[in-house]
Amino acid sequence: MKYQDLISKLTLEEKVALTSGKDFWQTVGIDRDDVKIPSAFLSDGPHGIRKQAAAADHLGLNASIPATCFPTAATMANSWNDELGEEMGKMLGEEAVDERVNVLLGPGINIKRNPRCGRNFEYFSEDPLLAGKMAAAYIRGIQSNGVSACVKHFALNNQEERRMVVDTITDERTMREIYLTGFEIAVKEGKPLSVMSSYNMVNGTHTNENMHLMRDILRGEWGYDKLVVTDWAGCNDRVQGLIAGNELEMPSCLYSNDDLYKALTKGYEVPPELTPDRPGAQYERVTAALKDGKLDESYLDECLDRLFDLIFTTDKVFEGRPADEKLAVRNVDAHHEMAKKCAEECIVLLRNENNILPLAGGTKVAVIGDFAKVPRYQGAGSSVVNPTKLDSPLACLGFKIDKFEKNPLPCAKDKVGEPGENVYNLDVVGYEPGFDRYGKKKPALIKKAVDLAKKADVALVYAGLDEVTEAEGLDRKDINIPQPQIDLIDALCAAGIKTVVVLSCGSSVELPFADKVDAIVHAYLGGQAIANAVLDVIVGNVNPSGKLAESYPYAYGDCSSASHFPGKQLSVEYREGLYVGYRYYDTANVAVRYPFGYGMSYTTFEYSGLTVDDKGATFTITNTGSRDGKEVAQLYVGLKGGKIFRPAKELKGFKKVLVKAGESVKVTIPFDERTFRYFNVATDKWETEGGEYDIMIGANVEDIRLSAKLKVAGTTEVDPYAGAALDSYRSGNAANVELEEFKALLSCGADKYKYPVPDPGYKFYKKNRMVIHYNCTVADLRYSKRWFGRLFSGAIRFARALLWKMGNRTLSNTLEMGVVHQPIRGMAKFGGMNRARMDGLIMMCNGHFFKGLGQLRRGKTKEEAREEKLMRKGRKEDLKAQDKINKDAE
């Protein structure tokens, strides 16, 4: 081990203590003559630093220091430009260094299994290759500054509802090919200094305790030897987590761990009031396991070695630097321009009838939509950034914004409002909101908007999803654009008004008006500079080059996972298997509104001259239009007629190139070890099926421009699915797989991969009554034995509904994020109560009201209270005896 000498100087108590945070964001530091361990600071920040200046929380509620808000991961993936992602990562790393942040908690690379996942805006794609490549670039950029990126959430965390307790049930091949490949690419190519485990369980075991995920795959197969940290309050059993190699539990809770260490490291007896009996540190449990032999000290030493490697490696960048020294803050404008540059390459042109775009100079434009006033530029939750600047579309067009009737994000308060100079040569006839931001029907707003638009040549409509619809901690109820916005757009089209829609949302939505409007410009959630970036595309200063990193179905019911999202009470079954996103639509021939990889340009490209060998594919792209433009060439691979079922096409490479008007560029996309592989659950390794593969070059997954055949030798003849009744998987029609067929899939292959499918429902001991335990959520308390739990759960749910009805949707969502789906252990870990109080609450819910109430009030069991009383009595007697000795000595 690298830090064996340092570890040998630590007491057992210190070792245990160091594996939990000092507070919400910091690790513990030890400062004594023979041991100097600095404290490391961890901060949210997939697309901007969220270092909180005041009270700490994990939901983005409290203020944070100003930082550049770059485009979200879902937006950046549309650039298909990993080099640009690395540039952005460098600036994120610079700002982390300025704020003395050792670990930046991002990027998030979970797969977009279902468009309703509320946190999809934080994730790159439905495809693991694209997600992994973009994540690796982010990591390289961030870590080039000497600080750590932290890849999250490992793994299969693909929904927000019940995310802290849900059990993800999947087969081994699907897990590896779809949900782990992105992490594998990020780990091997990005080399992150830290990885964050997810909240959920996978096939019956919490991820941070999952030996198969942590030891066999992450540590063993991928060779990862750096730090793994829990998601905040994501530790279920600390002892098992340490054994699995989960080094750091965050955060520290109720009591100050720092006080505990001061007591320990100065050789004092630890006062009872400082003993961390909360589950957040699980100090006593770990110490007891070490003393009982259930936990070998070597596991603890191994964890500390990796923890120290992270701390000392990242702390080097701060050596000799004054605490108040800033670098990037002096370059706010440069970082803002970088945010704009990123946003420009991410904007996706979805529709452009009769080449209405770009708008010519002098075009009369009516600006419509609440999002034109206060832009929708980021998601909600732990990733919320307090931007250094914020461009408003109206301000960019010369309007002065006097006030905000409703301020969607507190951080926008002082950033929008000053008018800019209208440099876009558009004749703006006026502005109307057109709709209520949060979906209330107000027909009068539509009438005013239509009347204004009649005075213009074009209606520029800013539409999309609001901040309370897409947020961490909850999933969307549907994938619809709010009806008032649809009514507005329908009214404009019915009036014969040329309409250009600017969309702002972080995941796919149904677009019933798509064939009616003249143009659709999709900005996604483009960060603080998105307003100017969009206008530059609209007037032609920038040629759009973004392409969708996810599919846009006609209707939600077309999704392969629609019938099994977000699952039932206890588990979610990934019955669709490999057929996620385009892998399903393309294989099952399900038509979509916009396919994966789709995006228009103001110019045209021609593909030619494909040659293929065992190293890769080479071809030529020619710009046949009159404008310079960037094109994303996509390499897909398929095998028809093979024994092993698989999607018809799978993305295996991509390249974004700039091609000047009238010129050609030769492009090579290499193959790698993943191009032809599949995971064989019978041989327990990656294999290649022999056969003649289709090598396809496309502008998107449906628009294949060039194709060729390549014969590839196989590595095994073993068919893990021989004789199994898997018709849905063999055909690709996997949207409505029956339970028995799913069980058959999970029973294939080696015994260790034959996972059972548990009953997804609650375990009631009688009708609608269950025993409450640590992993029950507040929502589950409605089924408790006695009235207290049912009343408590009902009150929380009523409060949430009432707040929603009253229009306070942000606070309503906060209740759902932070309370409704929070397990009782999570409430304790976030500082709400210690373990004794948590046990008291559980007793009250399980029919022992007065006994539990007493313990809840005391904060300790009767035995602990009695022992503490005796200790205090003994101390008083010791003090009296010492006083007597002192007097006698005098």
Instruction: List 455's β-bridge partners, or say none.
Output: none
Q: Between the CA of residue 288 and those of 278, 283, 297, what are the distances in Å? A: 14, 9, 12
350 with 484, same domain: the answer is yes
Residue 362 and residue 413 in one domain: yes
Token pair 């300025």 in the structure block, residue:
98
231 annotated active-site:
yes
| 380 lies in the same domain as 517 | yes
Query: What pLDDT is stored for residue 886 in this prediction?
Result: 66
Which among 66-80, 243-257, 400-414 has the top mean pLDDT?
66-80
Mean pLDDT of 5-13: 92
pLDDT of residue 842: 87
Q: Is residue 121 part of a domain?
A: yes
Quote the pLDDT of residue 816. Answer: 78
| Same-domain check for residues 497 and 625 | no
> Does 296 reside within a domain?
no
Contact (CB, 8 A) for 24 and 43: no
Q: What SS3 class is residue 225?
A: coil
Q: Which amino acid is at 796?
A: I
* Nearest alpha carbon to residue 813 among 63, 165, 64, 161: 161
Query: Quick one: pLDDT at residue 69?
Result: 95
- Of 396-400, 635-639, 686-690, 714-718, the least confident: 396-400
pLDDT over 50 at 7, yes or no: yes
Q: Name which of 242, 223, 226 is nearest 285 in CA terms.
A: 242
Return the SS3 of 153.
strand
Q: Which two tokens stand for residue 41?
A: 């600071």
For 293, residues 6+ apart whose C-beta sits below 8 A from its C-beta are none
What is residue 51's predicted lDDT score, i.e. its pLDDT?
A: 87
Q: Phi/psi at 703 (nearest 5 deg)?
A: -100, 80
Band (pLDDT 50/70/90 cuts) for residue 259 is very low
**825 falls within a domain:** yes
On the question of pLDDT at 267 being above 50, the answer is no
Which of the four pLDDT bands, split at 50, 70 and 90, describes residue 54? low
CATH number at residue 84: 3.20.20.300
User: Rounded mean pLDDT of 549-553?
Assistant: 99
Give me the mean pLDDT over the 520-541 stretch. Answer: 97
Alpha helix stretches (DSSP H) within 461-517: 483-494
Stretch among 102-116, 202-216, 835-849 having the lowest mean pLDDT: 835-849
What pLDDT sits at residue 374?
86
Q: Which has the minimum average pLDDT: 3-7, 56-60, 82-86, 509-513?
A: 56-60
Q: Which residues pair with 67 in a beta bridge?
A: 387
Q: Which residues of 207-227 are buried (b: 16+ CB within 10 A; e: fewer)?
A: bbbbebbbeebbbeebebebb
Catalytic residue among 231, 305, 370, 536: 231
Instruction: Report yes or no: 100 and 112 within 8 Å, Cβ to Cβ.
Output: no
- Does 516 fall in a domain? yes
Alpha carbon distance 256, 276 (integer Å): 9
Scanning 540-608, the segments in alpha helix (DSSP H) are: 582-587
* 482 and 417 belong to one structural domain: yes
Pick the last residue of a domain from 547, 565, 589: 547
Q: 213 lies in a domain? A: yes
CA–CA dist 645, 650 (Å, integer): 13
Average pLDDT, the chain: 89
Q: Is 447 found in the same domain as 508?
A: yes
Compute the average pLDDT of residues 516-529: 98
- Name which of 47-56, 376-385, 627-636 the model is least confident about: 47-56
Distance of alpha carbon 137 from alpha carbon 127, whole angstroms = 16
Lowest mean pLDDT among 333-342, 357-366, 386-395: 386-395
Q: Say yes or no: 508 and 360 in one domain.
A: yes
> Half-sphere exposure (CA, 13 Å, Cβ side) for 430?
12
879 band by pLDDT with thresholds 50, 70 and 90:
low
Asked if the structure places residue 279 within a domain, the reply is no
Section 554-576 average pLDDT: 95
Confidence of residue 222 (pLDDT cuts 50, 70, 90): very high
CA 229 to chain CA centroid, Å, is 15
Q: Six-digit token pair at 430?
A: 């006026």
* Per-residue confidence band for 734, with pLDDT thresholds at 50, 70 and 90: very high
Same domain for 356 and 443, yes or no, is yes
Lowest mean pLDDT among 15-29, 168-182, 447-461, 736-750: 15-29
Specify the CATH number for the domain of residue 471. 3.40.50.1700
State the pLDDT at residue 874: 60
pLDDT tens string 189-217: 999 999 999 999 999 999 999 999 999 99
Residue whose pair of structure tokens reads 């409605």 in the numeric block: 782
* Range of the structural domain that residue 681 is part of: 603-717
CATH code: domain of residue 712: 2.60.40.10
Give the tens place of pLDDT for each residue, 84-104: 999 999 999 999 999 999 999
Q: Please report where in the chains the tokens 């909240």 appear, as a residue.
A: 199
Q: pLDDT value at position 167?
A: 95
Query: In the structure, what pLDDT confidence band is assigned to residue 155 with cuts at 50, 70 and 90?
Result: very high
Dihedral angle computed from the Cα positions of residues 559, 563, 568 and 572, in that order, rounded to the nearest 10 degrees: -50
267 lies in a domain? no
**Number of domains composing the chain:** 5
pLDDT at 868: 61
Q: Is the separation of the CB atoms in 149 and 139 below 8 Å?
A: yes
Sign of CA dihedral 256, 260, 261, 262: positive
What confidence tens digit (pLDDT) does each residue in 281-307 have? 456 778 888 888 888 999 999 999 999
Find the range with the poorest average confidence among 379-383, 409-413, 439-443: 409-413
Whether residue 47 has pLDDT greater than 70: yes
Over range 828-856, report the average pLDDT: 79
- Do 563 and 539 belong to one domain? no
| pLDDT the model gives residue 876 | 60
Please give the average per-residue pLDDT across 238-249, as a whole number.
93
Q: What is the pLDDT of residues 157-166, one digit of tens each?
A: 999 998 989 9
Are residue 152 and residue 105 in the same domain, yes or no?
yes
| Model pLDDT, residue 263 | 45
Q: Are residues 426 and 565 in the same domain?
A: no
- Of the pLDDT bands very low, low, confident and very high (cuts 50, 70, 90), residue 548 is very high
* Per-residue confidence band for 251, with pLDDT thresholds at 50, 70 and 90: confident
Q: How confident is the model at residue 233 (pLDDT cuts 50, 70, 90)?
A: confident
Check pLDDT > 50 for residue 30: yes
Q: Taken in order 462, 463, 468, 474, is the CA torsion positive or negative?
A: negative
pLDDT at 261 over 60: no
Mean pLDDT value of segment 684-705: 98
Which strands make up the sheet holding 167-169, listed edge to edge? 205-206, 201-202, 167-169, 571-573
Domain-embedded: residue 704? yes
- Cα–Cα dist 268/262, whole Å: 9
pLDDT score, position 715: 97
- Same domain (yes/no): 457, 479: yes
pLDDT at 863: 66
Give the model confidence (pLDDT) of 751-783 as tens digits: 999 988 998 888 888 888 888 888 888 888 889
Predicted confidence band at 270 (pLDDT cuts at 50, 70, 90)?
very low
Give percent above pLDDT 70 in the chain. 88
Burial of 44: CB neighbours in 10 Å, binned 0-12, 13-18, 19+: buried
Quick check: 20 pLDDT over 70?
yes
